[in-house]
Structures are given as C-alpha cells and as structure tokens.
C-alpha cells in the first residue's frame, strides 16, 4: 500500500497534476496543498488541485506520510526550511525537480535526519501555473527516482508504487547520471530553443511579424519549449551547470562541423548526417514517447 496522506508544496503544472492524478488514481488517499502565492492557492482551491489547500506549508505537511516539493530547483531549500519544524518524523520527503544532485543536497541540508528520496517525472507541457495541470500528465511517461545510497528500501518501494499508480513507468538511477541524461534530453534542447527564438526576435533584416507568419517552416516547433516557465528553467540551468555546459560544448563542436560542411559545399557530409538522425525519431515513436502522426498530429492534417 502506497502513501495515503500526500502534501504537495507548490501548486503549478506539476503539483496540480499530482493532486488531480492522486484523486483520479488513488481512491482513499488525501492530499493537502500549499503554494507561496496567494492567488495560486485560491485558484488551486477552486480547481480542487488538492483536497485541502492550506494557508501555510507547515499546516499542509503536519499529517503527511509523503511530502512532494513541486517548486523550482533553487526554491527547494527555502521551501524545505519552512516545513522543518512541522514535518512528521516518519514522512518521506520527495520532489519533482529537473536537476537531482543539487536538489538532493538542498533538501538534505534543510531537513537533516529525515528520509529523502528525490524523483523526477519526465513530463510536462509548455504551460505553467495552477491552471496548467491535468490528471493524465504522467500517463506512459517515465519517472526517474534517484535514491541516495542509504535509502530505506520500503520507502523506495512505496514511492515507486505511488508513481506507478499515477500512470508513470519508474526507473531508478543515481543522481549524477540523471543530471547528465537530462542535460542532453531536456536541458540542452530547452537552451537551444530559447536561443533560436531570441535570435529570430532580434533580427533587423527580417521583421518579427515575418518570423511569426512563416514559422510553419520549422521555427514554430522551437517556440513551444521556449514558452516554458522562465523561473523554473533559470533554476535548472544554474543547478545543473556542469552537465549542461559539457553537453553544450559537444553541441557547439557538432554545429561547427556542419557549418564547415555547408561553407565548403560538402553535400555528402550533410546527407550522411541527415540520414543518421532520421532513425532516432522512429525509435522514439516505437517506444510510445511521441505521436507518429505528421506534425505531432496538430492541426487539420490527414490523408485525403
């Protein structure tokens, strides 16, 4: 039997989705929720993101057997300090942060002596805030749990069952490897997307209205993830700095190689590279991690 009294600290996209997913999938479990923003608390109460939305984090965790921090990575320390006094000794502390080494360290320092098992559901959309969450967010998505070496195995099993109940597939990984994997599958793509959208906005020869108008040529795909929550992503890059800079260095080298191939007119090098990158999408679709329909299935496309 997994956790039954779940406190959710932070009621944005992730926290709100957890609350809705618990209600949909764990009958009998009770959720409490808190967000430092009063407007978010109010909206969360209206949408029923938690069974009870509390006016303080301490109140939210007082009877919890699981506390999940759903705040940006660099806000974890302060959020954890705010519950230190009220946290029941037997409760498990977890989170949903996108970088795990830094978050584990912050939680450990703020809550010494408590059981802490960080986790990261690899799921999300470009929307944020209390209106963004939905119960199905974790369906068929991976949740990576990064237990410390001395983690309590019973608590680890319960946390695994919790995420599986919400529809996720669970993978166990050590925190440094998580940070490297996510640097390439998530953090670098976001940084690149943020960059190119910025570059396109700053041109003098091409107006912003032209960029918007002709975005269906490819650009619009980048704008989705470049619309993600700025605070969250600032924190991700700062809290996973080394792995992000390492991946960025490799990306820059590869880009320079393709740039050179264009400059010298080496069509074979371009063709070979472009052929190789086709296969990986087929695998992503085969593994159920993306939609096989053209253009992600958006719009009115279809045969006919």
- Which residues inside 221-260 make contact with a copy of itself, applying CB under 8 A? 221-228, 230-231, 233-235, 237-238, 241, 244-245, 247-248, 250-252, 254-255, 258-259
Q: Does 46 help bind a copy of itself (rule: CB under 8 A)?
A: no
Q: Does 100 help bind a copy of itself (rule: CB under 8 A)?
A: no
For the record, the structure tokens of 50 come out as 């938690």
- Least distance to a copy of itself, CB of residue 40, Å: 17
Nearer to a copy of itself, 150 or 287 (CB): 287
- 57 within 8 A of 32, measured Cβ to Cβ: no
Nearer to a copy of itself, 161 or 251 (CB): 251
From CA 229, how far away is CA 126, in angstroms rounded? 7
E strand spans, the chain: 5-9, 30-34, 52-53, 66-69, 92-95, 115-116, 119-121, 142-145, 169-172
Nearer to a copy of itself, 64 or 191 (CB): 191
Strand order in the sheet with 115-116: 52-53, 30-34, 5-9, 66-69, 92-95, 115-116
Nearer to a copy of itself, 58 or 192 (CB): 192
For the record, the structure tokens of 207 come out as 């107006």
Q: Does 78 help bind a copy of itself (rule: CB under 8 A)?
A: no
Nearer to a copy of itself, 10 or 133 (CB): 133
Nearer to a copy of itself, 55 or 210 (CB): 210
Q: What is the DSSP letter of 114?
A: S
Q: Does 58 help bind a copy of itself (rule: CB under 8 A)?
A: no
- Least distance to a copy of itself, CB of residue 78, Å: 15
Q: Any residues with CB less than 8 A from the CB of 146 and at least 6 apart, and which?
A: 100, 104, 117, 118, 119, 120, 172, 173, 174, 175, 178
Q: Any residues with CB less than 8 A from the CB of 95 and at least 6 apart, and which?
A: 68, 69, 70, 76, 103, 107, 118, 119
Q: Does 282 help bind a copy of itself (rule: CB under 8 A)?
A: yes
Q: Does 90 help bind a copy of itself (rule: CB under 8 A)?
A: no
First to last CA, the chain: 51
Helix (H, G, I), strand (E, B) or coil at 104: helix
- Least distance to a copy of itself, CB of residue 110, Å: 20
- Least distance to a copy of itself, CB of residue 238, Å: 6
Which positions from 132 through 191 interact with a copy of itself, judged by CB under 8 A?
132, 134-137, 139, 141-142, 144, 171, 177, 180-182, 184-191
Nearer to a copy of itself, 150 or 202 (CB): 202
């Amino acid at each position: 039997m997994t956790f039954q009294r779940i406190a959710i600290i932070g009621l944005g996209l992730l926290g709100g989705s957890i609350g809705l997913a618990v209600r949909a999938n764990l009958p009998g479990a009770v959720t409490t929720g808190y967000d430092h923003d009063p407007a978010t608390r109010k909206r969360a109460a209206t949408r029923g993101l938690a069974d009870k939305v509390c006016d303080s984090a301490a109140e939210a965790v007082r009877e919890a057997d699981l506390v999940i921090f759903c705040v940006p990575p660099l806000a974890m320390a302060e959020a954890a300090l705010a519950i230190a006094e009220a946290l029941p000794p037997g409760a498990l502390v977890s989170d949903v942060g996108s970088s795990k080494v830094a978050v584990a360290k912050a939680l450990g320092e703020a809550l010494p002596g408590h059981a802490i098992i960080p986790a990261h559901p690899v799921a999300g959309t470009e929307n944020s805030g209390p209106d963004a969450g939905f119960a199905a967010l974790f369906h068929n998505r991976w949740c990576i749990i990064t237990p410390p070496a001395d983690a309590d195995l019973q608590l680890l099993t319960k946390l695994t069952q919790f995420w599986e109940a919400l529809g996720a597939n669970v993978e166990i990984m050590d925190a440094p490897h998580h940070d490297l994997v996510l640097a390439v599958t998530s953090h670098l793509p976001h940084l690149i997307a943020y960059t190119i959208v910025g570059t396109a906005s700053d041109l003098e020869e091409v107006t912003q209205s032209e960029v918007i108008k002709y975005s269906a040529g490819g650009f619009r795909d980048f704008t989705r993830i470049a619309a993600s929550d700025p605070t969250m992503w600032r924190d991700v890059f700062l809290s996973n700095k080394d792995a992000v800079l390492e991946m960025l260095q490799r990306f820059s080298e590869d880009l320079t190689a393709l740039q050179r191939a264009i400059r010298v007119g080496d069509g074979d090098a371009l063709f070979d590279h472009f052929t190789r990158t086709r296969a990986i999408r087929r695998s992503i679709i085969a593994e159920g991690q993306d939609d096989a329909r053209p253009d992600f299935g958006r719009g009115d496309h279809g045969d006919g």
